[in-house]
Structure 1
């Protein structure tokens, strides 16, 4: 699907406020509410807009520590990677997992209440993941940017 200027404006409005009304979306994109609704549906049907979710402040829920964990497996076989990925998907403290190129195989993002809480998560979750050869941990000091879409795509 090729995006025009109105589509980009509509996406910008949705990224800013996923609960915007059709009137608000139309105003933001220079469209009527019904045209905005049709374009929004087209963006959803094309898989560009995958869904809508609440932006939850995890710090307010007691999870103030963001931990980046790099994992190197003992093998890059399909079996090893499959077992690891299945176990990570069940990890109650892991919020993101990326298969990486380079020295490490995976990057995990974990949210914890504190360094002490992460120690428990490390022992009870991370260290028990299958086929792990090496774990390296870094604590985020402060979040500087957190975007769902790079601004250059929105015009």
Structure 2
């Protein structure tokens, strides 16, 4: 599906997603028009989903990040959908993932400090519907955070 040119283009795009099409084309050794066409094709094929900004929450004053793992009470057939709908409404939830296994959902929650996190936890997290169990994992350090694979 991908040829060497597509792979080269993707490597440069992953290395610097903020590059404009002309700069990306130059780095990948393509004309701007060819680069644009290939990006359009890769996007249409669902290979490139978006070119987006990655926010450094700590630089904005959010010093605490917690991964909360939830097991839901599945006696209600709408438990999963109702939990997700409510979790989407919590502004401090910056990520939601679902799983197969003992853990049903993981929420990534940010807070300015521990006192702020305590308020978020009590007022917004514990009020989410259909919670059977919660496990909290406090982020200490991010060792590797890149969405790249060798292409």
The two structures have a TM-score, normalised by structure 1, of 0.89
**Cα distance in 1 for residues equivalent to 2:13 and 2:77:** 38
SS of 2:78 mapped into structure 1: helix
User: What is the aligned residue count?
Assistant: 151
2:78 alignment counterpart? 79
2:111 is equivalent to residue 112 of structure 1: yes
1:70 alignment counterpart? 69
Residue pair 1:65, 1:111 contacting (<8 A) in 2 also: yes
SS of 1:63 mapped into structure 2: coil
Cα distance, 1:77 vs structure 2: 4.9
How do residues 33-72 of structure 1 correspond to structure 2 at under 5 angstroms? Answer: 33-72=32-71
**Cα distance in 2 for residues equivalent to 1:76 and 1:110:** 26
How do residues 67-146 of structure 1 correspond to structure 2 at under 5 angstroms? Answer: 67-75=66-74, 77-146=76-145
CA-to-partner distance for each residue in 1:84-135, whole Å, 9 max, x for gaps? Answer: 1111111111111111122211111111112221111110111010001111
Q: 1:20 to 1:145 in 2, by over 3 A?
A: same
Give the unaligned 5+ runs of structure 1.
Answer: none
Cα distance, 1:21 vs structure 2: 2.5
Give the unaligned 5+ runs of structure 2.
Answer: none
Residue pair 1:22, 1:36 contacting (<8 A) in 2 also: yes
2:39 is equivalent to residue 22 of structure 1: no
CA RMSD across the alignment: 1.5
Cα distance, 1:60 vs structure 2: 0.9
**Cα distance in 2 for residues equivalent to 1:22 and 1:138:** 40
The two structures have a TM-score, normalised by structure 2, of 0.91
